[in-house]
Chain A
C-alpha cells in the first residue's frame, strides 16, 4: 500500500520547495501525497510528514533525494516535540498543517461550524453580547472592540446590509490572512456568516489583494463547496459571498478606501463619520473586518466569550498572531496569548538571529510601525503597552533588521513608501510624505543639515495630527523612531 505523505500547499511552502517535491514524487506508486495547509514553521519548509504511532513525524528542509529515508522512517522528528510549535497556544491556527484546506468534512470533524450552530441558537443580541464578553478587538490594525461595531451596524437602518472581509493584508511582513485564505478558508466564511446573522446582512464580500492569486482561487473554491453544502443561507434566504480582487494599492486596506474600491472607484479615503457600520458600501450599513478577526469569531461562539476573555492581558484578550520575518533565524507564524515580551518572542520562537547577523532593530506593526532597539525589547506584546509607547501592534508583523541595515536608507524607504501609496485626499499625507522623502534623500546624499532633522520632526508632528487616516498619521513613526534610536547615523551624514 502506498505511504501517505503530508506536504503543504501554502504559497510560501511551495516557494520554499514543496512544489518541487510534489512534482518530483508525483508518479511514485509507493507514495500518496496529501496537500495540507502549512504549520507556519517556514524555516523548516519544505516539511514532509507521515503518520506515526503518536501523531505526525516530520522531516525538515526536504529535498527530493530524501525520499528513501522518509519511506524507511529514519531521521524524522515528532511534530509535537518541535519547540517552535509546542510552545504556541494555537486556537485560530489549530488546523494548520493538519487538514486539507478544502475538506469541509475534516473542518467539521475538528469543531468547524459549531460556532455557527451556536449562533443559530442565539438571538442576534445574544451573539453580540457574547462578543462583548469576549472583549475581542479587531485584528486589522485599529483594534476597535468588535461587538461595538456590530451593535452599531445592527441598529442602523438600511435597505441592505453588508459584511466585508478585509483581505487586503497590505502591511509588509504579515501573512496570516493569506495563510487563512489558503489554508482554512471555511473558518473565514463561518465568521462572516455569524456576523451576517448578528447584524442582519444579506450579502458578503471578500476584498482580496491582487498579490494573492492562490488565496483568491482557494477561497472561491471554498465558497463553491460551502454553497453546494447549502451553508451560505441565513433564515432561509441565500447569503452570497463574493471574492473581489484589488489592484495593488496599499491604502485600499483602509476600510473606507476599500469600500470605494469595492464600488469600482478610485480607492480614496472617505472622511469619517459616518463610519462604515452606519453608512458603508453603497451607503448601506457595512461591517468591514479583518480576515483574522472573522476567523477568531467561530470559537468565541462555540467556546463562549468568557473563554476568550480568560486569555491574554487586561485590555488585550485572546491570542495574538505574530508573523516573524526579516533576519530572525526562525521566520514563521506564532499564535500566543497576549503578554509575552518582544524579547521572549524573538528568542523563544525567532530562535535569535539568522547566522552571521547581529541584531540592530525590530519593527512591529508593518510599514507604519515603530522601530525598537535592543533596549526596547522588554516591551510586552499587548495593545495598551504599545499604545503607551506611541507604537502599534497593527496586524502582528515583526521584522528584524540586522547590523548591516543603513538606518538613513531605511527611513527614506519608509517615506518613499508613503509618498507612493498616499491616496492624495488630504494635504498632510500627500505633500508631507513627498517633502519627507526629499529631506531624507538630501541627508542620504550628504547635503542635509541639522535644520533638516528639525524639519522632519516638525513635519512628522503635522502629519500625525492632521492626516485623514492612519497612513499619513502613522507614517512619521518608523522614521522618527529610527532617528530617535540611531541619531549618530543620521548626524554622521549631515553636511558639516
Chain B
C-alpha cells in the first residue's frame, strides 16, 4: 500500500486549477480537462467498468491523475468518487501530481540490496538533492524506489524512464544521467 494516501483530496471538477504540468494549450481549463478525460476513458471503456485500467490509461496520456479529476472520472465510469479515490490512493504507480521530466527508480529488492543499492540511492539523493518520491529543484528528475525489476542476476538495477541499467556502480551514475536532459 502506498505511503502518502493523504494527498488525495477531492475537489470540484470545474476548479480552474492547473490540471497537468505540460504546456498544452488550455490544459488548465476545467472544461477542456473534462473532454480530455472523457475522450481517454472512452478508449478503454469496458463492462463492468475497470477503474484501475482507466486510471492507468489517464496517467499514460496525462502523466498523472490529479485529485481534481476524480469526480469527472467517477461520473464518466458510473462509479462513486470514493471508489475512484480508493483505487487512486492504493497503487504505488499512480501519481496525483506531475513528476519531473524523467523518473529514476532504484531497485531496493534483496539481490540489489546485497549488491549495494544503498550506495547507489545515497549517491543519487546527494546529486539530485532530492529524497525518495521527490522531484529535484528544476524538475529534471523525480527519484523513486522499487522492489525488484526482475534483473536480479545483473544487479544492482536502476531504471530511468523506460531504460533499464544493470550492474550499476555509483561512479557511473553521473555519466548515465547526462543522457537525460
Which residues of chain A have a CB within 8 Å of any CB of chain B? Answer: 11-12, 14-16, 40, 42-43, 45, 169-175, 177-178, 210-213, 215, 244-251, 261, 263-268, 282, 323-327, 331-333, 363, 366-367, 397, 399-402, 405, 410, 413, 417, 420-424
B93 contacts chain A at the CB level, 8 A cutoff: yes
Which of these, A12, A177, A399, A401, contacts B154 with CB under 8 Å?
A: A12
Interface of A is mostly: mixed
| Interchain Cβ contacts under 8 Å between A and B, 7 examples | A11-B150, A12-B153, A15-B154, A16-B154, A172-B110, A172-B147, A326-B152
User: Out of A247, A268, A333, A363, which one reaches B93, CB within 8 Å?
Assistant: A247
Contact status A211-B56, CB under 8 Å: no
Residues in B with CB closer than 8 Å to A250 are 147
Asked whether any CB of chain A lies closer than 8 Å to the CB of B13, the reply is: no
Q: Does B142 contact A (CB under 8 A)?
A: no
Indicate with 1 or 0, residue by residue over B148-165, a CB within 8 angstroms of chain A CB atoms: 111111110100001011
0 or 1 for each of B98-116: is its CB under 8 Å from A? (1 = yes)? 0000000001111111110
What distance in Å separates the Cβ of B59 from its nearest Cβ neighbour in chain A? 9
How many residue pairs between the two chains, A and B, have CB atoms under 8 Å in the bound complex?
150
Q: Which of B26-34, B35-43, B45-53, B171-179 contacts A (4 or more CB under 8 A)?
A: B45-53
The contact of B90 among A170, A249, A332, by CB within 8 Å, is: A249
Q: Is the CB of B52 within 8 A of A261?
A: yes
The reply to whether A332 and B153 form a contact with Cβ atoms under 8 Å apart is yes
Whether B162 and A247, one on each chain, are in contact in the complex, defined by CB atoms closer than 8 angstroms, is: no
Q: Residue of B at shortest CB range from A211?
A: B149
Q: A247-B94, A424-B1 are in contact. Are A326 and B150 (CB under 8 A)?
A: no
A405 to B114, Cβ gap below 8 A? yes
Q: Are B151 and A172 in contact (CB under 8 A)?
A: no
- Identify which of A14, A172, A211 contacts B111 (C-beta below 8 A): A172
Closest to A354 in B: B115
Q: In this assembly, does B146 line the interface, its C-beta being within 8 Å of a C-beta of chain A? A: yes
Whether the pair B1, A421 counts as a contact (CB closer than 8 A) is yes
Q: A172-B147, A250-B147, A332-B153 are in contact. Are A400 and B1 (CB under 8 A)?
A: no
Residues of A within 8 A of B139 (CB): none
- A244 → B minimal CB distance (Å): 7
- Asked whether A175 and B150 contact (CB < 8 A) given A325-B114, A326-B111, A423-B1, the answer is yes
Cβ–Cβ contact B87 & A265, under 8 A: yes
Would you call B54 an interface residue if the criterion is a C-beta within 8 Å of the partner chain's C-beta atoms? yes
- Closest residue of chain B to A410 (Cβ to Cβ) is B113
Give the docked Cα–Cα distance between A169 and B5 (Å).
25
B residues near A421, Cβ cutoff 8 Å:
1, 147
A15 and B90 contact, Cβ closer than 8 Å, known pairs A172-B110, A211-B146, A413-B113: no
CA A336 – CA B91 in complex, angstroms?
Answer: 37
Q: Is the C-beta of B86 less than 8 angstroms from some C-beta in chain A?
A: yes
Which B residues lie at the A interface, using CB under 8 A? 1-3, 48-54, 56, 83, 86-87, 90-94, 107-115, 146-155, 157, 162, 164-167
Minimum CB distance partner of B166 in chain A? A15
B86 and A266 form a contact (CB under 8 A): yes
Cross-chain contact B154 with A173 (CB below 8 angstroms): no
CB < 8 Å neighbour of A363 from B110, B115, B151? B110
Shortest Cβ gap from B24 to chain A (Å):
24
Q: Which of A16, A173, A246 contacts B110 (CB 8 A)?
A: A173
Bound CA–CA A261/B93 (angstroms): 13
Task: A169 to B109: give the CA distance in the assembly, Å.
Answer: 12
Q: Which A residues touch B113, using CB under 8 A?
A: 410, 413
Docked pose: A417 CA to B147 CA in angstroms: 9
Alpha-carbon distance between A211 and B114 when the two chains are bound, in angstroms = 20
Other A-B pairs beyond A211-B149, A244-B53, A401-B114, 4, CB < 8 Å:
A325-B111, A326-B114, A327-B115, A405-B114
B153 touches A323 (CB 8 A): yes
A466 to chain B, nearest CB (A): 19
Assess whether A173 is in contact with B1, with CB atoms less than 8 Å apart.
no
Shortest CB–CB separation between residue A439 and chain B, in angstroms?
19
The verdict on A267 contacting B111 (CB below 8 Å), with A211-B150, A247-B52, A423-B1 known, is no
Residues B165 and A15 in contact, CB atoms below 8 Å apart:
yes
B56 engages A367 (CB within 8 Å): no
CB <8 Å contact, B162 and A15? no
Known: A264-B87, A400-B114, A420-B3. A325 touches B53 (CB 8 A): no
In the bound complex, CA of A170 to CA of B110 (Å): 12
Contact among B48, B92, B107, B153 for A248, CB-based, below 8 A = B92
Q: Is the CB of A325 within 8 A of B153?
A: yes
Across chains A and B, which 10 residue pairs bring their CB atoms closest together, nearest first? A172-B109, A15-B166, A325-B111, A264-B50, A326-B114, A42-B153, A247-B91, A172-B148, A325-B152, A248-B93
